[in-house]
């Protein structure tokens, strides 16, 4: 589906780009208190998440964090956005590795437990140990690249497919240079990019599946279910299963771990459910936050895709204002610069 089929005016494109980046942050904050908890634990502690809530003292990664706080998902997306702006649309691999290492050191100095994910940690440690930066990501199959790829979707259009995939690969190669890592990042980025160019949610999700198939032609091959095929299966699933039954199915059958073929598929399934049934963004993010597992990342990816298609104006305003206030978050300057990159690429 060429994005040239959609030509929103600049104001609408900016609104959708804001929706994507702030939607990511909002989803991240929704899932922050429940990340790494089981579905049963979430029910016991919170019942069902319906709004932004504080993390309790027993939260294993983000103990006692305030309601509305973001996690590594948003912080690393900001890092990618800054790299894209600094590199005029390209990400220099060694600089990316250096900033990831600096970011984790800063988080440790703050006493945070919200550090690099397993694939990213393995790759950055390999680089510190002398590994070639272009080989360090050859084992990365988790969702770390997909969670932070939204700025690529803002800065590049799927109307130019090969340069678009190149841009996605540039954000993956250091830590997730595999068929699974790149395919999952390409899926999220393409859904965001299509949404910004005016696609409906259903159209954007189809673009995500198409570009997952393109993305899996890049990187080191690893065994695992194909992302594109699983995304199409998830789309069909949501025509038959919805609501709490879908959430249970995602947790019990699809999976909600950091594995790309679980969490990315779960996020797309919830987005398809919203497209089929007109579910509002707050409810969709609350469902993601209540799933169990890697809830902050699932909700962050979901928020980015929903926000890109609906626009900032359709995000729940009180929660997003809370996220902006609690984190002193102002993404507008970065969003404008990313859209300037998009325009310069034609």
Mark the binding-site residues, compressed into ranges.
71-73, 294, 296-297
Distance (Å, whole) CA 16 – CA 10: 10
Q: Give the CA diameter of the chain.
A: 51
HSE (side-chain half, CA atoms, 13 Å) at 298: 35
With H, G, I as helix, E, B as strand and everything else as coil, classify residue 9: coil
Measuring CA to CA, how many Å separate 117 from each of 71, 100, 104, 113? Answer: 12, 11, 10, 11
Phi-psi region of 311 (alpha: psi -120 to 50; beta: other; left: phi over 0): left
Going by the annotation, the residues of the binding site for Mg(2+) are 71-73, 294, 296-297
Q: Give the number of other Cβ atoms within 10 Å of residue 4's Cβ.
A: 11
Measuring CA to CA, how many Å separate 204 from each of 41, 70, 105? Answer: 34, 25, 37
Q: What is the DSSP string of 183-251?
A: HHHHHHHHHHHHHHTT--HHHHHHHHHHHHHHHTTSSB---S--HHHHHHHHHHHTTT--HHHHHHHII
Q: CA-CA-CA-CA torsion for 73, 77, 78, 80, nearest 10 degrees? A: 140
Distance (Å, whole) CA 15 – CA 139: 37
Which residue is associated with the tokens 């997003």?
A: 320
Angle 45-302-115 (CA atoms, 0-180°, nearest 5)? 65
Which residue is associated with the tokens 């609104």?
A: 15
Q: Which residues touch 95 (CB under 8 Å, ≥6 apart)?
A: 83, 86, 87
């Amino acid at each position: 589906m060429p994005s040239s089929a959609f030509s929103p005016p600049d104001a609408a494109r900016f609104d959708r780009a804001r929706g994507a980046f702030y939607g990511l942050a909002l989803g991240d904050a929704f899932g922050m208190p429940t990340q790494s908890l089981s579905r049963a634990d979430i029910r016991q502690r919170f019942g069902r998440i319906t709004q932004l809530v504080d993390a309790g003292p027993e939260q294993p990664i983000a103990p006692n964090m305030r309601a509305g706080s973001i996690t590594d998902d948003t912080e690393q997306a900001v890092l990618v956005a800054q790299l894209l702006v600094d590199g005029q649309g390209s990400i220099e691999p060694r600089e990316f590795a250096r900033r990831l290492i600096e970011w984790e050191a800063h988080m440790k100095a703050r006493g945070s437990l919200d550090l690099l994910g397993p694939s990213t940690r393995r790759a950055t440690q390999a680089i510190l140990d002398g590994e070639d930066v272009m080989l360090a990501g050859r084992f990365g199959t988790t969702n770390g690249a997909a969670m932070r790829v939204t700025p690529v979707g803002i800065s590049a259009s799927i109307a130019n497919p090969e340069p678009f995939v190149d841009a996605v690969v540039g954000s993956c190669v250091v830590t997730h240079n595999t068929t699974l890592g790149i395919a999952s990042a390409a899926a999220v980025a393409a859904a965001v990019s299509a949404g910004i160019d005016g696609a409906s949610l259903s159209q954007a999700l189809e673009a995500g599946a198409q570009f997952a198939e393109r993305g899996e032609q890049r990187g080191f091959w690893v065994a695992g279910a194909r992302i594109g095929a699983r995304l199409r299966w998830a789309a069909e699933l949501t025509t038959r299963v919805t609501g709490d039954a879908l959430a249970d199915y995602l947790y019990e059958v699809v999976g909600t771990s950091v594995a790309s073929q679980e969490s990315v598929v779960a996020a797309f399934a919830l987005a398809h459910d919203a497209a089929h049934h007109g579910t509002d963004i707050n409810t969709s993010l609350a469902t993601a936050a209540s799933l169990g597992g890697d809830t902050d990342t699932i909700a962050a990816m979901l928020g980015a895709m929903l926000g890109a298609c609906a626009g900032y104006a359709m995000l729940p305003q009180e929660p997003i204002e809370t996220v902006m206030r609690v984190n002193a978050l102002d993404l507008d300057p970065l969003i404008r610069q990313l859209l300037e990159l998009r325009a310069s690429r034609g």
